[in-house]
């Protein structure tokens, strides 16, 4: 009998791309190979907001174990690997002095993928901003967007022709709002004014980077936007208005600026006085044509009015649905909502990838095994949505499970496990979980 994942895979066309994702700071180990400091290192050590003050200095030691890890990707039957470049690894000291060990590491990693028949699905920035840029204001500054364009140039020169696809920035909402308004991620700023600037400059960085990559003739460029499904706490006009505001800040800000060259008016009304001068002139850069669109999807948020939240007037709460170990509700219907909305409103013709989807769970090792059946079920329920929509004719092109390995889960340190492969952080031993075996069975059948 076919398992649920096998059934979905069988219903999808052969060219539907299945992959698995990770990111540099979360797995590589920033102590190795001449990597420079990122603002995450400082945040982990100094902010008091990171569990156990855990940092990414060793992480999964992927810097040394990359061959083992690529073998795991290949042996599961994944045909693509979504990874990120580390900016401080390639340019540890300044924007001119290239770290040869960094170049050599990514050379080997990319060639290692190609040798194994795995398509390199690259992200240029997954949150490890060099500390030198953070000290000068980081994403609140236009300069950072310009430096990001230079860094893009280095990557294109060195690796561009070997990359199947590239997205400049992973989850710009996290880079901007989560890190500058909520302060939950590095640099831990809590200011509407800072957040508004970061919301704009991270988008500008995206657009400038796309321009650079086009100048090299790259033809498969996209964006990776995280989406959270907004549900009003009640049906009063005020709650509905606030839910629209949440949706504008979290979701539409990014789609609309990239695909329609404007910012949503609900969010702009809140940010306008803090926006950088002449920001409107940048929208034509931000809205460069793309070749594909990527969505990272995990959960929903219930929006509840709260007068104590002086800037925005709401807070996000969780409801009664079953939850992952992050406390995130499992709500696959939100994924359907975003896939349809993106196709209808913004990018009907573009191939759509689910670039991250997965769950943290409290995996228990029993008799040398992890039977993470809840994670298999999570993948199953989200793939059901994808298969149904694909069969209805939506242009869905691929799906990436988050994550290959248990890894550094940012402010949660190593306390949360998202991997389909368990990592023992003391020995660095990898142990495939039941979910890995389920993917393997579905993809290699
Ligand atoms: O681990 C993160 C990843 O870095 C970005 N997307 C969400 C994941 C789970 O929180």
Q: Which of 289, 372, 376, 300 has the alpha carbon at shortest distance from 331? A: 300
At 8, phi and psi to the nearest 5?
A: -65, -45
Burial degree of 404 (CB within 10 A; 0-12, 13-18, 19+): buried
- pLDDT beneath 70, residues of the chain: 1
Number of domains, the chain: 1
What's the domain range around 15? 4-443
Q: Give the per-residue pLDDT at 424.
A: 98
- Spell out the alpha helix ranges (H) of 136-273: 142-159, 172-173, 179-180, 192-215, 237-247, 253-260, 265-271
Atom of ligand 1 nearest to the CA of 409: 1
- Residue 285 is encoded by which pair of tokens? 């850069």
Q: What Cα–Cα distance (Å) separates residue 326 from each residue in 192, 331, 334, 362?
A: 26, 14, 17, 10
Ligand 1 centroid vs 277 CA: distance in angstroms? Answer: 32
State the Cα–Cα distance between residues 363 and 370, nearest whole angstrom: 6
Helix (H/G/I), strand (E/B), else coil: 391: helix
Q: Are 85 and 168 in contact (CB under 8 A)?
A: no
Q: Give the per-residue pLDDT at 1.
A: 65
State the Cα–Cα distance between residues 381 and 383, nearest whole angstrom: 6
Residue numbers annotated as active site:
171, 356
Ligand 1 centroid vs 128 CA: distance in angstroms? Answer: 13
The protein residue whose alpha carbon is closest to atom 9 in ligand 1 is 409
Q: Give the per-residue pLDDT at 3.
A: 77
Q: Give the per-residue pLDDT at 311.
A: 87
Ligand 1 centroid vs 281 CA: distance in angstroms? Answer: 32
pLDDT digits over 361-403, tens only? 999 999 999 999 999 999 999 999 999 999 999 999 999 999 9
The protein residue whose alpha carbon is closest to atom 2 in ligand 1 is 409
pLDDT digits over 351-366, tens only? 999 999 999 999 999 9
Atom of ligand 1 nearest to the CA of 410: 1
Ligand 1 centroid vs 420 CA: distance in angstroms? Answer: 14
Return the CATH number at 187: 3.20.20.80
How many whole angstroms from its chain centre is CA 246? Answer: 19
Mutual angle of helices 373-391 and 4-11, in 10-degree steps: 20
Atom of ligand 1 nearest to the CA of 296: 6
Burial degree of 227 (CB within 10 A; 0-12, 13-18, 19+): buried
Q: Which residues line ligand 1 (CB under 6 A)?
A: 23, 26, 171, 296, 356, 402, 409, 418
């Amino acid at each position: 009998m076919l398992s649920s994942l096998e059934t979905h895979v069988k219903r999808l066309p052969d060219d539907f791309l299945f992959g698995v994702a990770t990111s540099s700071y979360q797995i590589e180990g920033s102590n190795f190979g001449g990597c420079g400091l990122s603002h995450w290192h400082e945040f982990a050590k100094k902010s008091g907001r990171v569990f156990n003050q855990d940092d990414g200095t060793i992480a999964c030691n992927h810097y040394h174990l990359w061959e083992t890890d690529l073998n795991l990707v290949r042996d599961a039957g994944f045909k693509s690997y979504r990874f990120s470049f580390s900016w401080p690894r390639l340019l540890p000291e300044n924007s001119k002095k290239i770290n040869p060990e960094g170049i050599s590491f990514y050379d080997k990693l990319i060639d290692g993928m190609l040798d194994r028949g795995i398509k390199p699905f690259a992200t240029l920035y997954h949150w490890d901003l060099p500390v030198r840029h953070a000290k000068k204001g980081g994403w609140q500054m236009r300069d950072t967007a310009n430096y990001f364009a230079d860094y893009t140039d280095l990557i294109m020169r060195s690796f561009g022709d070997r990359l199947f696809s590239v997205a400049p920035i992973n989850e710009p909402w996290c880079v901007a709002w989560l890190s500058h308004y909520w302060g939950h991620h590095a640099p831990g700023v809590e200011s509407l004014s800072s957040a508004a600037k970061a919301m704009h400059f991270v988008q500008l960085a995206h657009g400038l980077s796309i321009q650079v990559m086009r100048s090299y003739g790259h033809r498969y460029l996209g964006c990776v936007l995280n989406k959270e499904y907004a549900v009003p706490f009640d049906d009063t006009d005020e709650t509905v208005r606030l839910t629209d505001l949440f949706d504008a800040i979290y979701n539409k800000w990014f789609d609309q600026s990239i695909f329609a060259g404007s910012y949503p008016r609900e969010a702009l009304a809140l940010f306008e006085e803090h926006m950088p001068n002449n920001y409107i002139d940048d929208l034509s850069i931000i809205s460069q044509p793309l070749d594909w669109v990527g969505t990272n999807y995990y959960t929903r948020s219930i929006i509840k009015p709260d007068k104590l939240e002086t800037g925005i007037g709401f807070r996000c709460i969780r409801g009664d649905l079953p939850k992952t170990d992050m406390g995130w509700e499992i709500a696959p219907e939100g994924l359907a909502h975003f896939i349809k909305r993106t196709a209808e409103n913004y990018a009907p013709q573009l191939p759509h990838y689910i670039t991250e989807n997965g769950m943290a769970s409290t995996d228990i090792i029993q008799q040398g095994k992890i039977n993470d059946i809840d994670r298999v079920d999570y993948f199953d329920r989200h793939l059901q949505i994808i298969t149904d929509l694909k069969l209805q004719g939506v242009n869905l092109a691929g799906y990436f499970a988050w994550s290959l390995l248990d890894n550094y889960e940012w402010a949660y340190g190593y306390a949360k496990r998202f991997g389909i492969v368990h990592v023992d952080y003391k020995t660095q031993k990898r142990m495939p979980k039941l979910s890995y075996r389920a993917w393997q069975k579905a993809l290699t059948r």
